[in-house]
Amino acid sequence: MNAIYPADEAHRSGEALNSGATIYALASRIFPLCRSLTGEGVRHTLDILAQYIELERHEVSTGTAVFDWTIPPEWTVEDAFIRHPSGSKVVDFVNSNLHLMSYSIPVQKILSKNELKAHVHTLPEQPNVVPYKTAYYTDTWGICMSHNDFEKLEDVDYEVVIKTSKRPGHLVYGEHVRKGRSEKEILLYTHICHPSLANDNCSGIALLTHLAATLKARATYYTYRFVFAPGTIGALTWLSRNYDRVGAISGGLVVTCVGDGGGPNYKRSRKGTAVIDRAVSCVRCGPDDTMPTIHEFTPYGYDERQFCSPGFNLPVGLLQRSSFGTFPEYHTSADNLDFIRPEHLGASFDMVCDIIEVLEGNWIPLNLSPLGEPRLGKYDLYPPLGGHKSNNTRTMAYLWILNFADGSHSLLDIAERSSLPFSEISAAAEILQDRGLVSSLGRCEI
Amino acid sequence: MNAIYPADEAHRSGEALNSGATIYALASRIFPLCRSLTGEGVRHTLDILAQYIELERHEVSTGTAVFDWTIPPEWTVEDAFIRHPSGSKVVDFVNSNLHLMSYSIPVQKILSKNELKAHVHTLPEQPNVVPYKTAYYTDTWGICMSHNDFEKLEDVDYEVVIKTSKRPGHLVYGEHVRKGRSEKEILLYTHICHPSLANDNCSGIALLTHLAATLKARATYYTYRFVFAPGTIGALTWLSRNYDRVGAISGGLVVTCVGDGGGPNYKRSRKGTAVIDRAVSCVRCGPDDTMPTIHEFTPYGYDERQFCSPGFNLPVGLLQRSSFGTFPEYHTSADNLDFIRPEHLGASFDMVCDIIEVLEGNWIPLNLSPLGEPRLGKYDLYPPLGGHKSNNTRTMAYLWILNFADGSHSLLDIAERSSLPFSEISAAAEILQDRGLVSSLGRCEI
Amino acid sequence: MNAIYPADEAHRSGEALNSGATIYALASRIFPLCRSLTGEGVRHTLDILAQYIELERHEVSTGTAVFDWTIPPEWTVEDAFIRHPSGSKVVDFVNSNLHLMSYSIPVQKILSKNELKAHVHTLPEQPNVVPYKTAYYTDTWGICMSHNDFEKLEDVDYEVVIKTSKRPGHLVYGEHVRKGRSEKEILLYTHICHPSLANDNCSGIALLTHLAATLKARATYYTYRFVFAPGTIGALTWLSRNYDRVGAISGGLVVTCVGDGGGPNYKRSRKGTAVIDRAVSCVRCGPDDTMPTIHEFTPYGYDERQFCSPGFNLPVGLLQRSSFGTFPEYHTSADNLDFIRPEHLGASFDMVCDIIEVLEGNWIPLNLSPLGEPRLGKYDLYPPLGGHKSNNTRTMAYLWILNFADGSHSLLDIAERSSLPFSEISAAAEILQDRGLVSSLGRCEI
C-alpha cells in the first residue's frame, strides 16, 4: 500500500495545515481572473497552474461540433461600465468581473433607469451582494449589481458601455496524468470557467493542483488523470476526444466548493454503488471526523452530469463541502476569499487523499487464527486489565477485521460493516498483518 | 397516449370542480336509500346508477353457495321504531336507516329501559352520533341510537317494533365494462351495501359511476371493468362467477371513502409491487399535490381482502382519502352529506384519472442523444440565462428522462426514481419526443 | 407441538412469578461465591447447580493449548486486605470478593497512600461503588474500592496483604443435555466466571439452570445443550473439545444480564438472519409485551464472540435485558441482589421459553379454503356483529394466517410479516387447524 501522507497524526495535522495554506495561496492567485467558457482568463489560469504541475494544454477550435453541442466563440472583455451623467461610473467591470454577465454582447447606449432595469440583475433577498449570471448561448447582455446599489441609483439617463467580442479561437483545457502501475484511471475533474468565485471553484482548482503536485512524489497503483476544463462544454469536449478510452475510467470525482466549513457532501455516481461511491462514505473530514452526507444521484449538478450521461455512465461522483445552491454565498460576490479558509481547504484535501487511500489500499485480509478470537493480549493488542464497559476504537478495529477476514471481505467491506473509518481499519489491518494474525489475499481491484 | 382529461391546467381545475359537483350530486341522490347486502335499497341504487351509465345487472339466487359462503336471504324493512308509553316514537327508522341494525329479525315486544339496553347500540365516547351496526349472519336484532338520546329515555316500558323479513330472492350487483384495445382488464370496484353513510361509501359509488361515464367518450388501451357489489359476499360472488377469467385482471382498485379531505391513503395489493401499486405512488392529490401515504398490505380492510386472498392474489389495492376506522365519523351518522365535499370528490376523481393515465401512458423512452446532455437551450427547453441556485421542475423532468432513457427504464420507473409526479414526467417526455430528443421503444405492458 | 408451559394466561403468569422466585433464590445462593476463570468458586457454583439438574462436569488441565490460547493456572484466594497502622482493615476481601482484582498475584508490602494509588481501582464518576477488575493474563495485583472510601483514607503507611496462588489444576465447566428427537442442537450458554455480580451473571446461570430443570419434564424435537463455562477461555475450550460436532448447533443463545427491568436486547448472530435471530424478534417480554430491540452483530460482547468467530460462524446470538456496559450498575458492586428482581427474571425466563416455542413450533400452514376468505363466523371465529372500527388481535391473526398460508410461508414468516407475536400466530393457527381451515405441510426445519 502507498500512503499518500504519513500515518503519524501530529505530522499529518501539520501537513494538513500546510496543504491548506498552500491551496489557499493558489486559490487567491487565480481568484481575480475573469474566467469564462473560453478566453484569456482561462489561459491565464492554466498558465498559473502550470507553474505547479506539468499540465498538457489542449486547444480545440471554436465552432467544433461536440456531440449535440458546438464550441462557442472566444469571448473577450475590454471594458464594461454604467456611467452617471455626472461622469462617475456607478458600475465598473474593473472592480469585479461579476458585474458583467458572462458572454454579454457589446452595447453602447443611453438608457433611463427604468430601461436599464430589464438588463440589470440583482438579488432583492440578498440586497448587498452581486449575483453571478451567464448567457453563454444567447445574444444578450446584462449587468449584475447589488440590489441596494441599484435602488440608490438616481432616476436619470445612464450610459451603458460594454466592450466585448465573440471571435473564432479555441476552447482550452488542461490535463495532468500521474501514471500508476495499472492502466485503470481515476478521474479528478474540476471546472475552470467561473470568474471571481472563491469556493466555486477556485477552491477545487487549487486543491486538485496541489494534489497533483503532491502525488508526483509517490508511486501509485492506479493512474490519476486530472482534468481542468470549462463546465459542460469542456467536459463534453474532453469526453468526445477520449471517446475510445473512457472505459479506463474506473472511478472519479468532480471536486468543487471545497473551501468552506460545511458538509462534506457527496453525490453518488449514476451507478450508485461504484467503489468510488463506497470509498467516500468510509472517510471522514476535519477535526471532528465528520462523516460525509451521501446523496443519491440526480441528473442536476456539475460535470458529473456529463460523465454520468447514459451513453457514458462512468463511476464519477460529486464531492463538495457545502452543496452548491444551498449556501447563501453561492454564485454571488460573497463567495470571496473570506468565505474559504485554509483549514477547510486542508481538511478537504486530506479527505480526497483518504479517498485515494481507500482505492489504493483496499486488500483482502485472511484471519490466520479463525477458530475463536486469537488472544490479542499475547500480541500486545489488548488492554492488560479487564472489566471495562466498552472497548476503544483500535481494539474494535482489530475485532472487526479478525471477525470478517474470512476471505470474502475486503478492508472496504469491513470499514462499511463496522462504520469505522477506512484509515482506522487499514492501520489496524497492517498491524495484524505484521503480527502474523492475518495475511493478505491480495489487492481488491476496482 | 390517451389523455383522460385535457392537460391544460386551468381547464382541468374547472373540470375537477365540475366533476366534484357532479359526483356530489349523485352521492346525495343515493345517500338516503337503505342499502344492505341484499334488498330493495341495492336495486334502487343500481337503478339510479343506470341513469348515468350502461349497467349490466346480475342477479344470483339467495342460498347459492359461493366458495365457503352462502348468499343470505333478501332482507326487507317495512318499519322499525321504539315507542314511549305516551305514544311518541323515541327512535324511528323513518328518520335514519342507521337506527336499525342491518339484517335485524322482526320483533314486537314491551321492554323496560333496562331490558332494551341489551339490544341498543350507542357510542358513549361519541355521545351525539348514531352508530352503524350489522348482523348479517346472526339471527338477532338491534337498535342504534345516540348515547345521549338513550340516556335521556325515561325509565318506563317501551314498545319495540321491528317489521322486517328475510326471504328468498337475489343478491344483485352491477357491472359496467369499457372495452379497450387490450383484453387485459383494470378492475374498479366498490361496495354498495352501506346505508346512509356518505363517505363510506356513497362517495366511492358516485365517483366510479362518474368515471365510467367519463371514460365512455375516450378510447383506452386497457379494458376497464367497474363492479358495484355488496361487500364481501358480493365480491366473492363476482369472483366465483368469473373464476375462469380473473387472470385478465392486470390491476385494480377498491375505491371507498373518497369524499373527505384527508389522505390520500393507498394500501398496496398483496403482491406489493404490482404496477397498480407503483402507479398510485406516482400521482398526487388535491390543490397541494399531496403524495399518497402508501401502506403495506394487510389482510383486514375492504373487498381487496377477497381479491388478494391466496387463491386469487390479484393486483388490487385499496384507495381512500382518510383510512377507514381512523376518522371519528366512520360508521356513524356523522358520515353524512356535510362530511363529504365536492372539492374533495373532485380531487379524488382527478387522482383516479391520473392513476389510469399512468397505466395507459407508460412507455419506454430512448435518449437519441445519450453522449452527454443534449443542449436543451437549442430546443428551447432550458432557461436562456444561467447561474441560478436550482432548476425548475420541468427542467428537472427533462434531465431525469434524458439520463434514464437508456432503454431499460419506463416513464413510471423514471417517475419513481425522480420522485416527480408521473404527469410531469409524461408531459416532459412527450415534449422531448416532439423535439426528436427521445424516441419511444413502445408501451410498457402491465 | 410441545408447549413449554400451558397457554392459559392466568396459569402462565402464576408460573412466571413462580419461575422468577425460583430463579432469584438460586441466583441468591450462588451470588456470594468468588468465581473466576478457574478455582474453587467455579467448582462450588457447579456443585450447587448439580442439585437442580444433571450436570456433566468437564475438567481440562491448566496449561492445555486451546487454539491461540493456553488455559491459565488455577487461582486461589486465601486472604486480601489493606491494614491501617492502627490495625483496622480499611479494605477486606471477606466483605466483598470484588475488592480483589481477579488473578491478582500475592503481595505483602507497606505502602504510602500515594504508592497504593497505582494499584487501587476506583470509579470517580460513581464514587460509592466498588468496580470489578480482572488481570487474567498479566502478573500484577489490584485492590478495588469505592472512590469515597479511598479519598477518606489518611495519608499514612498501609500494609497490603494479598495471599493468593496460581497453581496447576483444571479449568472446569458444566454441561447438561436434554435429548430431543432430532440430533440438531440448540446451544444455551452462559459464563460462570464473574464473582459477586448479580445481573452479570448469576441471573443467566440461574435462569438456564431453571430452564434445564423445566425442560426435563417435556419432550422436545430439538436437542438442547446447556453449557456453563468461564468466559472466553471456557467457550474456546468447549469449542475445541467439540470441534468435530459443532455443525450440529442449529441455533443458540448466550444468556446474560437477564435479571434487571430493561430491554430486552438481542444481538444477532454473525449470520444475521438465522432462525434464532428471526425467532427472538417474534417474541415479547414482560407484562407490557415489550418487543426486543434487535442489534446487528458486532464482534465485541460475550461469548457469542467465540461462537461467531469466522472459523465457526455458528448461529448464536446474545440475549440480555439491559445491554452490558449500558447500565451504571454494570461491573460494579451495585450489580447486587437488589438490582435483579424475581419478576424480571420470570419475564426473561418466559421469553426464553417463547423463543424455544418458536423453534419447536414452527410449521407451514396451508389454507384449505383459499378462494376468498372463509366465513369465519361459521366456525365461531369472527365477532357476530359488524361495523366496528378495527379488529381484535386474534381475528387479525386468523386473517394473516389464512392470507399467507399458501404453502410458502411458515408460521414464523407470518409472525414476522404481521408483526404479531409468534405465540399469537401459533395459537390461532392451531385453532384454524382444528376447524379444518388449514392443514399442516409439516415442521419447518431450522
If you average pLDDT over residues C166-182, what whole number do you get? 97
CA dihedral B243, B249, B253, B254 (to 10 degrees): -10
A406 contacts on C by Cβ (under 8 Å): 310, 313
- Provide the number of CB pairs (under 8 Å) joining chain A to chain B: 90
Q: Which residues contact B434 (CB under 8 A, 6 or more apart)?
A: none
Q: Please tell me the predicted confidence (pLDDT) of residue C286.
A: 96
Q: Which residues of A touch C (CB under 8 A)?
A: 367, 369-375, 377-378, 384-391, 396, 399-400, 402-406, 418
Mean pLDDT by 10 residues, chain A (446 residues): 42 65 98 95 97 97 97 96 96 96 97 96 97 94 97 96 97 98 98 97 97 94 98 98 96 98 97 98 97 97 97 98 96 97 97 98 98 95 79 93 98 98 97 98 95
Q: Measured between CA atoms, how close is C292 to chain B, in angstroms?
A: 22
Grid cell 475552470 in the structure block, residue: A192
- CA–CA dist C385, C387 (Å, integer): 7
B142 contacts on C by Cβ (under 8 Å): 385
The answer to whether C309 contacts A403, with C-beta atoms less than 8 Å apart, is: yes
C121: which 3 cell numbers?
481501582
Q: Which residues contact A365 (CB under 8 A, 6 or more apart)?
A: A401, A405, A409, A411, A414, A429, A432, A433, A438, A439, A440, A441
For the cut 60, the answer to whether the pLDDT of residue C13 exceeds it is: no
pLDDT digits (tens, 9 = 90+) for B289-341: 999 999 999 999 999 999 999 999 999 999 999 999 999 999 999 999 999 99
Instruction: Output the CA–CA distances (angstroms, integers) from residue C165 to A71, C35, C65, C116, in the order listed.
Output: 87, 15, 21, 21
Q: Please tell me the predicted confidence (pLDDT) of residue A136.
A: 93
The answer to whether B309 contacts C372, with C-beta atoms less than 8 Å apart, is: yes
Q: Which residues of C touch A (CB under 8 A)?
A: 66-69, 101, 131-138, 140, 142, 232, 235-236, 239-240, 243, 270, 298-300, 305-306, 308-313, 324-325, 330-331
**Mean pLDDT over all residues of chain B?**
94
The answer to whether B367 contacts A138, with C-beta atoms less than 8 Å apart, is: no
For the cut 80, the answer to whether the pLDDT of residue B387 exceeds it is: no
> Cβ(B314)–Cβ(B187) under 8 Å?
yes
Instruction: Output the CA–CA distances (angstroms, integers) from residue B422 to B133, B316, B362, B400, C415, in the order listed.
Output: 41, 20, 9, 12, 36
User: Would you list the DSSP string of B328-386?
Assistant: TTTTBTTSSTTTS-HHHHHHHHHHHHHHHHHHHT-EEEEES--SS---GGGGT-S-SSB
For the cut 70, the answer to whether the pLDDT of residue C383 exceeds it is: yes
Q: Using CB atoms, which residue from B374, B387, B391 is nearest to A131?
A: B387
For the cut 60, the answer to whether the pLDDT of residue C144 exceeds it is: yes
If you average pLDDT over residues C343-354, what whole number do you get? 97
Per DSSP, which regions of A179-299 are E strands? 185-191, 223-229, 249-255, 265-267, 293-295
If you average pLDDT over residues C435-446, what whole number do you get? 96
- Provide the number of CB pairs (under 8 Å) joining chain A to chain C: 89
pLDDT tier, B255 (very low <50, low <70, confident <90, very high otherwise): very high
Q: Using CB atoms, which residue from C134, C243, C299 is nearest to A399?
A: C299
Which 3 state secondary structure label does DSSP give A314? coil
C373 contacts on B by Cβ (under 8 Å): 68, 232, 305-306, 309
If you average pLDDT over residues B373-402, what whole number do you get? 89
For the cut 50, the answer to whether the pLDDT of residue B33 exceeds it is: yes
Complex ipTM value: 0.93
A299 contacts on B by Cβ (under 8 Å): 396, 399-400, 402-403
Long-range Cβ contacts of B75-78 (<8 Å, 24+ apart): B75/B36, B75/B37, B75/B38, B75/B39, B75/B102, B75/B103, B75/B164, B75/B165, B75/B166, B76/B39, B76/B40, B76/B164, B76/B165, B76/B167, B77/B34, B77/B39, B77/B163, B77/B164, B78/B163, B78/B164, B78/B165
- CA–CA dist C399, C376 (Å, integer): 9
Kindly state the percentage of chain B with pLDDT values over 90.
92
Q: Which amino acid is residue C71, in one-letter code? A: I
Q: Measured between CA atoms, how close is A63 to chain B, in angstroms?
A: 15
- CA–CA dist C103, C132 (Å, integer): 12
- Chain B neighbours (≥3 Cβ pairs under 8 A) are A, C
The answer to whether B372 contacts A236, with C-beta atoms less than 8 Å apart, is: yes
Q: Using CB atoms, which residue from B384, B388, B390 is nearest to A135?
A: B384
Give the residue from C257, C309, C330 with the most A CB atoms within 10 Å of its CB, the best one to mutate. C309
User: Would you list the DSSP string of B3-53?
Assistant: -SS-S-HHHHHHHHHHHHHHHHHHHHHHTTS---SSSHHHHHHHHHHTTTS
The answer to whether B386 contacts A240, with C-beta atoms less than 8 Å apart, is: no
pLDDT digits (tens, 9 = 90+) for C290-311: 999 999 999 999 999 999 999 9
Question: Looking at chain C, which residue has its C-alpha nearest residue A366?
Answer: C310
Q: Please tell me the predicted confidence (pLDDT) of residue C35.
A: 95
- CA–CA dist A402, A396 (Å, integer): 10
C28: which 3 cell numbers?
441468591
Kindly state the percentage of chain A with pLDDT values over 90.
93
Q: Which residues contact B166 (CB under 8 A, 6 or more apart)?
A: B72, B73, B74, B75, B103, B105
Q: Please tell me the predicted confidence (pLDDT) of residue B15.
A: 58
B29: which 3 cell numbers?
341522490
Q: Measured between CA atoms, how close is A438 to chain C, in angstroms?
A: 12
> Cβ(B254)–Cβ(B303) under 8 Å?
yes
Q: Which residues contact B282 (CB under 8 A, 6 or more apart)?
A: B358, B412, B415, B416, B421, B422
- CA–CA dist B417, A298 (Å, integer): 9
- CA–CA dist C239, C217 (Å, integer): 28
- Chain C neighbours (≥3 Cβ pairs under 8 A) are A, B
Q: Using CB atoms, which residue from A371, A384, A418 is nearest to C311?
A: A371
Q: Using CB atoms, which residue from B134, B240, B308 is nearest to C385?
A: B134
Give the residue from A364, A366, A367, A373 with the most C CB atoms within 10 Å of its CB, the best one to mutate. A373
The answer to whether C371 contacts B270, with C-beta atoms less than 8 Å apart, is: no
pLDDT digits (tens, 9 = 90+) for B97-147: 999 999 999 999 999 999 999 999 999 999 999 999 999 999 999 999 999
Question: Looking at chain C, which residue has its C-alpha nearest residue A391?
Answer: C300
Q: Please tell me the predicted confidence (pLDDT) of residue A4.
A: 44
**Mean pLDDT over all residues of chain C?**
94
CA dihedral A98, A103, A106, A111 (to 10 degrees): -50
- CA–CA dist B404, A27 (Å, integer): 37
For the cut 50, the answer to whether the pLDDT of residue C422 exceeds it is: yes
Q: Measured between CA atoms, how close is C253 to chain A, in angstroms?
A: 17
Domains of chain A: 9-71+170-360 (3.40.630.10), 78-167 (3.50.30.90), 363-443 (1.10.10.10)
B201: which 3 cell numbers?
361509501
pLDDT tier, B386 (very low <50, low <70, confident <90, very high otherwise): confident
A243 contacts on B by Cβ (under 8 Å): 371
Give the residue from A35, A68, A144, A233 with the most B CB atoms within 10 Å of its CB, the best one to mutate. A68
Q: Please tell me the predicted confidence (pLDDT) of residue A8.
A: 45
Q: Which residues of C touch B (CB under 8 A)?
A: 367, 369-375, 377-378, 384-391, 395-396, 399-400, 402-406, 418
